Structure 1
Amino acid sequence: MIKREWAGETAVIIAGGPSLTVEDAVYCQGRARAVVVNDGYRIAPFADLLYAGDAAWWDGHQGAPSFAGQKWTQSKVAALRWSLRHIQSQHAYGISDSPERIHSGQNSGFQALNLTYLLGARRILLLGFDMQPTGGSRHWFGNHPPELHRDSNYAAWRGWFDIAAKQLVCRGVEVVNCSRETALTVFPRSTIQACL
């Protein structure tokens, strides 16, 4: 069960989109709670929390032993194998309000957003949420290795955020997309420097 450890706080979710820069990620340090998605721990090792949904990712990174913050996943297998915090994931539309589960959104960025909301953040800033190939790349670090590579269904992923955006507004949660390049247009846009 998730406790509202970050009630009322500002949090930044640092995802893997190719427009993410080291400067933007480092700017967050000490200014807000930070959540990194997948390989984001390499660019923002100071983050409070690392979220990765796939067991294969955790296996490929050997449980990310260099990361000192909280480690969360929806994978029971990965949680047991690498001593991670586990949160059940449900394939359902919108944001989960239950402290016992998140909704999948079919991608780790969405899952991290739901987790951050359940932790109590009332202002959530998004970085690296391109939701499109930018400059011909899928991620700031290049492509995942073949065992982790799968086709990115950006249009379907954006659809999950469409529903969640309306719910979050109704719940008094402000979400701002600070990604430098993005096809995710359901949230207001700004820069991380202006927001922090």
Structure 2
Amino acid sequence: MEIYGKINKPFWDDRPVAVIGGGPSLLDLDYDKLRGAHVLAVKGSIFHVPWADAAFGLDFNGSRDKLASVQSRVYLAVREDQLAGAGLPSKNTTYLKRLDGQGLSDDPGVIYGGGCSDFGAMQICIHKRAKQIVLFGFDYEARWSAWAEHFRVYVPYLTAHGISVVNASPSSAIGCFQKVALRDGIAICANGKGS
């Protein structure tokens, strides 16, 4: 029996995609204002935005049982050596094959971990054919600057495919994407169109 699945329809090329990380800048975010966009919740953010289109994580730190009760599709990137302990996915969960490193996969069934779930979440958006991505809670303070640099691997692909990414965390250490104020990120999502 094949445990791994893949990302497929519905695609997210019709509206902006709001990706909800876990940084402290989310304290001022009214999630309901994002309802004009597709929403991808990273890890525990799904419990703050239960109506999100999907959730993604490299792990969910003890929340796996709670995930079975959310209405959203849950994508979980699992290494082959972890499959035995992962058990069968619940009906709303799709296991994706996880590879280590800061690569970018063209295969909709494979995700590079990049060291954190936020990095992998960007690949979910790409596989869902997003054209406008707005990052929320991707704060990556100075102490995370090495991980923030991992996101640079996306720039050539995004440019070549006409995909726009803005980071609505103005103090973020991720310097390869345009930074905008939280309210401007919300406006992009609420208007249902790219900038």
Is the pair's TM-score, using the shorter chain for normalization, greater than 0.5? yes
With normalisation by structure 1, the TM-score equals 0.78
**Where in structure 2 are there 5+ consecutive unaligned residues?**
1-5, 190-195
Are 1:64 and 2:89 matched, yes or no?
no
Q: Provide TM-score, normalisation by structure 2.
A: 0.79
1:126 is matched with: 135
Write the deviation string for residues 7-46 of structure 1: whole angstroms up to 9, x where unpaired: 52321100101111353422102x1100001111122111
Alpha carbons of 1:2 and 1:79: their partners in 2 closer, same or farther (altered >3 Å)?
A: farther
Q: Distance in 2 between matches of 1:45 and 1:63?
A: 11
* 1:104 CA displacement: 1.0
Aligned to 1:109: 118
Gaps of 5+ in 1: 134-152
Deviation for aligned residue 1:172? 1.4
Residue in 1 that maps onto 2:31: 25
Deviations 1:44-79 (A, max 9, x none): 11101011211x62x345242442110110124446
Deviations 1:54-107 (A, max 9, x none): 1x62x3452424421101101244462545201111124342222221111110
Residue 156 of structure 1 deviates from its aligned partner by 2.8
After superposing the two structures, state which structure 1 stretch, 118-127 or 79-88, moved more.
79-88
Question: How many Å separate the matches in 1 of 2:149 and 2:170?
Answer: 20
Q: Which of 172, 188, 192 is residue 195 of structure 1 equivalent to?
A: 188
- Write the mapping of 1:23-172 to structure 2, written as runs, cut at 5 A: 23-29=29-35, 31-54=36-59, 57=61, 59-75=62-78, 76=83, 77-78=85-86, 80=88, 82-83=90-91, 84-132=93-141, 154-172=144-162
Root-mean-square deviation (CA), in Å? Answer: 2.2
Q: C-alpha distance in 2, partners of 1:192/1:24?
A: 12
